[in-house]
Structure 1
C-alpha cells in the first residue's frame, strides 16, 4: 500500500540518487585541493553582508601595459545577492527564488590611460556563500574596452568543469568556445578572503589564472600549477592594521599576485600587487586603498548623488 501511494516520490528519489552517482545533477562536488570552500562563514558574516548595502572600495592604481606602468583608478565592490543556479543570473522574481542561492559578488573595475588612449576592464565573480551543494564559484565574466576594440569572456560552471565563451576584436580571440577542467579560480580568491580567509587554499594546487590578466596578456585560460601562501604583511605601503598578504605564484607563467587584506573581520582588501613581464620589462602593477564606503549604490543614480562619488574617489 505504501509503495502504491508514494510511487512517484520513490521514483523521483531513485532518479536523484542515480543522477548523483552519474554526476549528472547541477549540484557540485568538492574539488580536489579545494578543502574548506563549503565550510560555514563566520557568525558575524551576516551582520555585515546582509544589510542591503554593498561595500565600495576605491584604489590608486598603477597598471602594467605595453612595457610601462600607467596611472589609473580601480574600484572593488562586494555585495550579496540571490543567484539562480540554473541560468546563472541574478534572481529578480519571486518565482525564481527557489532556484537561487545566496552569493557574494565581486565587481572589479580598472581604468587607466596608455599614452593617448584609455583602457577599461571589468570583472564580475559569483561565489556561493558556504553552500555544501554549490561549493564552486558559478560564474565569472570579464569585459575590456580600449581604442583598438573590445573583448568579452565568460566562464560558467557546468558538467563538473568550466565552459568558456569569448568574443574579441583580436583575431586569436575572436570566437572562443572551450571547456577547462574543474579547478579553483584566481578570480574567486577575492571572495574567499571576504567569506573566510582561514579556509583559503595554501600550498601547491592547480589554479585557473585571473581573466583580467589573461585578457591583457592574450592568454588562453587553463589550470596552471600555483604556489599559494599567507604571511603577515610587514610593509608600510598599505593602510590598515594587522595586515596579511596572500601570495599566488605561477612558476610556469612568471607571474605573481599578492593580495593584502586585514586579518580581522570583515577582512577588507587594502591593496594588491601583480608582477609579470610586459614587453620584456618585469613590472609591478599596484593598487592602494583610498576609501571605503557602505551604501546601496543602485538607489543612488541621480545627479545629486554625485557627492557620494566624490566621497568614494577622494584621497582625503
Structure 2
C-alpha cells in the first residue's frame, strides 16, 4: 500500500511539473547559481569606502559618436526592503546591498547630456535586485524610470516625449541587464550562460523609445588570460553589450562596449578605464576637496 502511494505521489508531481511549465521557465530565467562570496569580499567592500572608477567615454547618440566621461561608483549599503530606500539606522530587517551609481556626461552638438543609473542588488545574489532608477537630463527635457521589486516588477516611467509618454508597467521577474553589473562584482560565475529572457538596460530602453519588456537574449562569459569578457546579445534588438573585467577578485571593470544597429547603421559606444580609487566620497564635499577628482582625471 505504501509503495502504491509513493508511485501515485511521484506521478502527481510529474504531472504538476508539466502543467506548471511556464512558472518553471520564469524561475530559471533568473539564471543565478548558488555561490559563496570571495573570502576577501568583506575586507574589500566593508572598509568604509566606495570604489570609484573613471572612464573615457565614446557615446552613440543621434547616429553619431560623441566624446565624454563615465564614472562607476560601487558601495555597500543597508537597504529597507519595504520602503526600498537606504536605511538611516541599523536594523535586523535591513538588507545588505551592493549599490552601483553609474554616470555618463557627454555633449551632442550645442547641448549636454547627463545620465545616471542607480542599482540596488542584495549581496545574497540568489535574491533579485530590489530597486533600479534611471534619469536623463538634457536641454530638451527630463526622462525618469524606476523599478521597484514587489510581487512583480513595478516600473514607473516619465518622459517629455508624446511618443514615449508617462506610463506604469508590471513585468514578470526575468533577469535584468542592469543588475548584471552588480552580480559581476560579487561573483561573475554566479551568472549562468545560455539563452533566456533579459530586461535591457533602462538607459537603452528610455533613450531609444523601446517597449519596456524582457527580450530574448544570449548570455556568455569567456575567460581570456587575466580577464573575463561577459556579454549579453539581443538578436531582435540587434544590440550587444560586452563588459571586460579582471578574472580575479575584486573583478574590476576595465572597459565595456555596446554595439547597436539602427536603420542599417552600426555604431559602438565604448568606455575605457582611466583610474580607480577607494574613497569615502560623501565626507568630501568641501570647496577644497578636489584632489581625488584630479586623480580620476575628471
TM-score, with structure 1 as normaliser:
0.83
User: Secondary structure of 1:121's partner?
Assistant: strand
What does 1:1-316 align with in structure 2 at a 5 Å threshold?
31-36=27-32, 39-94=35-90, 97-130=91-124, 135-159=127-151, 161-233=152-224, 242-278=226-262, 280-313=264-297
Aligned equivalents of 2:32, 2:61: Cα separation in 1: 36
Residues 257 and 273, structure 1, Cα contact 8 Å, conserved in 2: yes
1:177 to 1:31, Cα distance in 2 relative to 1, 3 A = same
User: Could you report, residue by residue, the CA deviation over 1:218-238 in whole angstroms, capped at 9, with x for unpaired residues?
Assistant: 1121011100111134xxxxx
Residues 68 and 278, structure 1, Cα contact 8 Å, conserved in 2: no
Residues 102 and 129, structure 1, Cα contact 8 Å, conserved in 2: yes
1:195 to 1:71, Cα distance in 2 relative to 1, 3 A = same
1:148 to 1:278, Cα distance in 2 relative to 1, 3 A = farther
User: Could you report, residue by residue, the CA deviation over 1:215-273 in whole angstroms, capped at 9, with x for unpaired residues?
Assistant: 1211121011100111134xxxxxxx701110110011100000000000000000100
1:39 to 1:232, Cα distance in 2 relative to 1, 3 A = closer
User: 1:179 offset after TM fit, Å?
Assistant: 0.4
How many residue pairs match? The answer is: 273
Structure 2: state its 5+ residue gaps: 1-25
Aligned equivalents of 1:172, 1:74: Cα separation in 2: 28
Aligned equivalents of 1:210, 1:131: Cα separation in 2: 18
User: 1:93 offset after TM fit, Å?
Assistant: 2.8
User: 1:174 offset after TM fit, Å?
Assistant: 2.8
Superposition RMSD on alpha carbons, in Å? 1.6
TM-score, with structure 2 as normaliser:
0.88
Give the structure 1 partner of residue 11 of structure 2: none
User: 1:213 offset after TM fit, Å?
Assistant: 1.1
